[in-house]
Amino acid sequence: MQQEAQVPQTKRDVYLELLSREGLCHWIDEDGDVAFWSSGHLFVLFPNERDRDLFQIAAPNIWTFGPDESERAFMAANSLSLHVSMVKAVLVGNFHVWLSIEQFLVSEKDAVRFLRTAIDTLLYAKNQFIDEVRQTRPLLLPHLGTH
């Protein structure tokens, strides 16, 4: 009997299967990324096939700000990136803030365990960012240099 060669799954296929098993509403967006809803929030998984070990997830557009608020948004993003492990806060050119996590995984099976942690971490980071940016007092970053 001849065995059929297994076609390796793409990362997109792995992500779609994972989200289906988790019961999360998902779709492929216009860029070919995998978008999904969890806990009432939008997330995006980036299935970069050139780097099979890299797990990338983002919470897009968590905050919108005007040109006069960019300094406050920048300060809050810096503070968040310094104080919340693994999370990067990025201000994009159209006055939106995105949060992301990038993690190298040993195997695609690790994505199953990591997905829930990443979602919870991004939700926590979103709340921290919003709390920080809404503060009325000036935002202060810890002094990291030497005197």
Q: Name 45's bridge partners.
A: 34, 57
Which pLDDT band holds residue 7 (cuts at 50, 70, 90)?
low
Higher pLDDT, 49 or 141: 49
Contacts of 91 (CB under 8 A, 6+ apart): 70, 73, 74, 77, 97
**Is residue 77 within 8 Å of residue 87, measured between CB atoms?**
no
The model's pTM: 0.83
pLDDT 10s digits, 96-107: 999 999 999 877
Check whether 139 has a pLDDT greater than 50. no
